[in-house]
Amino acid sequence: MKIGSIEIPPRPLFLAPMEDITDQSFRHVCKEYGSDVMISEFIASEGLIRDCDKSIKKMQIAEFERPFGVQLYGNRIEAMQEAAKLAESKRPDFIDLNYGCPAKKIATRGAGAGMLQDPDYMEQMTRAVVAATSLPVTAKTRLGWDEHSVHIIEIARRLQDAGIQAIAIHGRTRAQMYKGQADWEKIAEVKHDPEIEIPVIGNGDITSPQGAARAFDHYRVDGIMIGRATVGKPWLFRSIRQYLDYGRVVDEPDVREKVAVAKKHLEKSIEWKGMPRGIYEMRRHLSNYFKGLPHFKPLRTKLVTSLDPDELFDTLDYIGEHYADFDASQLKSNAFFHY
């Protein structure tokens, strides 16, 4: 698979961009477990062109993350063009356009999935961004605004004509948010459309190696993008890769391995964001790494309330020792994490 001239490994696994989740510290552990392609948290074009520190920091790239895309969103063409130029100066491998975020504060203002209500403007914006940068441009979108406006094949054709080099499709409408099941048949219709020549990346409800294999073998997508299922479970990438490449079913990591990953993630978060933010933004991850452990509530409380790094690392060490002999197969599934 290629994005423009960028060579991507066969049957690639993308980490889906998720705001306040897929920061560089989380991307680090996901990459170690086998994620092939990384994309930044979404970045507001208006914030970027106004030198917003948070937006600028999101564009920082480490070499280990490549191939890496910077994802932009906005509802004003001029701002998106300027933001694409600023993003290009940070040397990502590609620019990704967010046409799929369903959040009310974004979509109802005409950005993210709100673009699906005005395909003409979406196409116009895409052409403008493609013209503004020498980098490949990709797009992530949804099936439509609601069940009455599922025009994803038309959208994909128009975006391809506007110059994008790959399209990621979440198999739900904006109205569905994250409810119900993702419609992979609709994603497959885009992939099999004779006019579509760019890679099609499927997204939605990939929570297991078997589900990933079905996405490639049955729906024939070029890549898969995994989001919520990786929260508290970055080793899902390893499980999927082992199954795809060798047909192996990999056991759930034991608690000691999970502690090691959580500690590394916490170290990177503090290093990346400083104190106390590096701890605040780790809390959702720390509570999910150990989901399903019995009699865990007091320890979970420590993990999500303490602002003392030493106490957190000591707590993690205690978890590793106290649950060292716990059978990981007894853990409740944490495939879905709603936020």
Round to whole Å and give the CA distance between 41 and 56. 11
Q: Do 95 and 136 meet the contact criterion of CB atoms below 8 Å apart?
A: yes
Cβ neighbours around 338 below 10 Å, total: 8
For the annotated catalytic residues, the residue numbers are 101
CB 193 within 8 A of CB 157: yes
Matching residue, tokens 């990459």: 31
Cα(331)–Cα(323) distance, rounded to whole angstroms?
Answer: 12
Helix H or strand E segment including 71 = strand 68-73
| Separation of CA 281 from chain center | 16
Alpha helices in 7-118 (DSSP H): 24-32, 45-49, 53-58, 77-88, 104-107
Phi, psi of 141 (to 5 degrees): -145, -175
CB 166 within 8 A of CB 199: yes
Q: How far is 223 from 230, CA to CA, in rounded Å? A: 16
Nearest of 137, 194, 145, 146 to residue 168 by alpha carbon = 137
- Can you state the angle between helices 236-246 and 209-217, rounded to 10 degrees? 50
User: How far is Cα 338 from Cα 204, in angstroms, rounded to an integer?
Assistant: 13
Cα–Cα–Cα angle for 143, 144, 149, rounded to 5 degrees: 125
- Between CA 87 and CA 70 the distance in angstroms is 7
